[in-house]
Amino acid sequence: MQLDEIRFDKDKHLSLSEPEKIWSLKEFGYSEERIKNAPFDIAVTTPFRILSPEGVKALNQSIAQLLKYKRGSERIANFIRGAYLNSSFIRDLMDCPDLNDHISKLSGAKAIPHPMKLYQAHINLKPEEENLDVDKWHTDTVILDFVLLCTDPQHFKGGYFEYFKCTKGQAIRSLIRDEDEEVIKVQFPEAGYAVLQQGNLVVHRASAVTEGTERTTLVQSFISENPDFADISKLSDCRPVDPPEILFSEWARYKAFLSQRKLHKLMEQLPNTEDKNHICLELRKAIRDVEEAIMEISDPTEARLHFLDSDVLTDLL
């Protein structure tokens, strides 16, 4: 059901700015081989503005109307999914070409909003129970995302967006062995600012709020426009939090979209050849996403969210 909301106006609600620093994967310690295989070179940015004060106000009014959809999970204690589907303001904001062009510029390559609407505009809220992390240590099962602060940072303490300034492997070893790798606590200047990250390669979390009643962020996800990027999204990461009557069809459409792009490229670029093995290999690569979707949707095993809790870290010892 759509809500009665303020109409999105990019001239009124957007106020795009540049971050002071964009950290590269090389600066995080990644190898040249790993960087070559990543769709973007970006690791994470310092905060940059996305929304004007009027935009922050309008977004928070939209989020307030979505609070009836809030729930919790093993990893995230208090969140809202499906904001893109249920809010016209949020949908128009996420679809705004100016915003998406800005994200592409910062990431160094063309990015497009994640085709799965359930992956768009995820909202994290302050846990109702005290001393719980807003979101636990993890890496994302999306390639690229920004974390947008919706709450005035003067109105709460704690609740930091934190990340390890190193490779994923180094961060996991640090968590296992309690080593002293560098952890950055992001200081947002005010509401309406965001950080952009290649979240599958940056170990991060949102820490517990120590004072204050509200701390809200919106997380928007992207994929590469390049059809050859390796998809890392996992159906098993969505099954515990998304309704199956929406999720499975969304997942099928998403994987069909990925294969469609690869098939289109194949139609345009496959050369004339007698090499049947090469032709069949290219066809298999093009439909791999759809074949994976069939296996994932048919999989009867219990799914769980992926994050670096104590049980996972113990298994890695």
Indicate if 68 and 208 belong to the same structural domain.
yes
Confidence label for 310 from pLDDT (cuts 50, 70 and 90): low
Domain that holds residue 292: 237-298
Indicate if 95 and 154 belong to the same structural domain.
yes
**Is 307 domain-assigned?**
no
**Where a domain ends, among 229, 255, 287?**
229
**Is 310 domain-assigned?**
no
Indicate if 248 and 202 belong to the same structural domain.
no
Contact, 148 vs 62, CB < 8 A?
no
Which pLDDT value is given to residue 316? 47
- Residue 100 in tokens: 């998406």
**Is 5 domain-assigned?**
no
Q: What is the CATH number of the domain that holds 99?
A: 2.60.120.620
pLDDT digits (tens, 9 = 90+) for 54-92: 999 999 999 999 999 999 999 999 999 999 999 999 999
Distance of alpha carbon 194 from alpha carbon 46, whole angstroms: 8
Indicate if 286 and 183 belong to the same structural domain.
no
Task: Say yes or no to pLDDT of 16 above 60.
Answer: yes
Confidence label for 5 from pLDDT (cuts 50, 70 and 90): confident
> How many angstroms separate the most distant Cα atoms in the chain?
69
**Is 74 domain-assigned?**
yes
Distance of alpha carbon 174 from alpha carbon 177, whole angstroms: 5
- The residue written with tokens 């949020």 in the block is 90
Indicate if 217 and 243 belong to the same structural domain.
no
Indicate if 157 and 199 belong to the same structural domain.
yes
Distance of alpha carbon 202 from alpha carbon 43, whole angstroms: 7
**Is 252 domain-assigned?**
yes
- Nearest Cα neighbor of 305 from 210, 241, 231 is 241
Q: Residue range 215-242: average pLDDT?
A: 94
Indicate if 120 and 180 belong to the same structural domain.
yes
Which residues on neighbouring strands pair with residue 195, listed in sequence order?
147
Rounded to 10°, the helix 244-269/276-298 angle is 170
Contact, 109 vs 40, CB < 8 A?
yes
Which pLDDT value is given to residue 313? 52
Beta strands in the chain (DSSP E): 22-24, 42-45, 48-49, 79-80, 111-113, 122-124, 133-138, 144-149, 157-158, 161-164, 183-185, 193-197, 204-211, 217-224
**Where a domain ends, among 229, 250, 267?**
229
Which pLDDT value is given to residue 36? 95
- Residue 118 in tokens: 């359930």
Contact, 118 vs 246, CB < 8 A?
yes
* Residue 62 CB contacts under 8 Å (≥ 6 apart), including other chains: 3, 5, 6, 83, 87, 89, 90
Q: Residue range 221-241: average pLDDT?
A: 93
**Is 54 domain-assigned?**
yes
Please tell me the chain's helix, strand, coil percentages from 3-state DSSP, rounded to the nearest 5: 40, 20, 40
**Is 4 domain-assigned?**
no
Indicate if 284 and 165 belong to the same structural domain.
no
Indicate if 158 and 244 belong to the same structural domain.
no
Report the percent of the chain where pLDDT is more than 70: 96
* Residue 35 CB contacts under 8 Å (≥ 6 apart), including other chains: 25, 26, 41
pLDDT digits (tens, 9 = 90+) for 257-285: 999 999 999 999 999 999 999 999 999 99
Task: Say yes or no to pLDDT of 1 above 80.
Answer: no
Distance of alpha carbon 172 from alpha carbon 164, whole angstroms: 9
Which pLDDT value is given to residue 302? 85
Indicate if 217 and 257 belong to the same structural domain.
no
Confidence label for 317 from pLDDT (cuts 50, 70 and 90): very low
- Number of independent structural domains in the chain: 2
Q: What is the DSSP string of 225-279?
A: SSTTS-----HHHHTTTS-HHHHHHHHHHHHHHHHHHHHHHHHHHPPP-S-HHHH
Indicate if 169 and 20 belong to the same structural domain.
yes
pLDDT digits (tens, 9 = 90+) for 77-130: 999 999 999 999 999 999 999 999 999 999 999 999 999 999 999 999 999 999
**Is the pTM for the entire model greater than 0.95?**
no
**Is 311 domain-assigned?**
no
Indicate if 206 and 250 belong to the same structural domain.
no
Distance of alpha carbon 51 from alpha carbon 201, whole angstroms: 26
Q: Residue range 153-166: average pLDDT?
A: 96
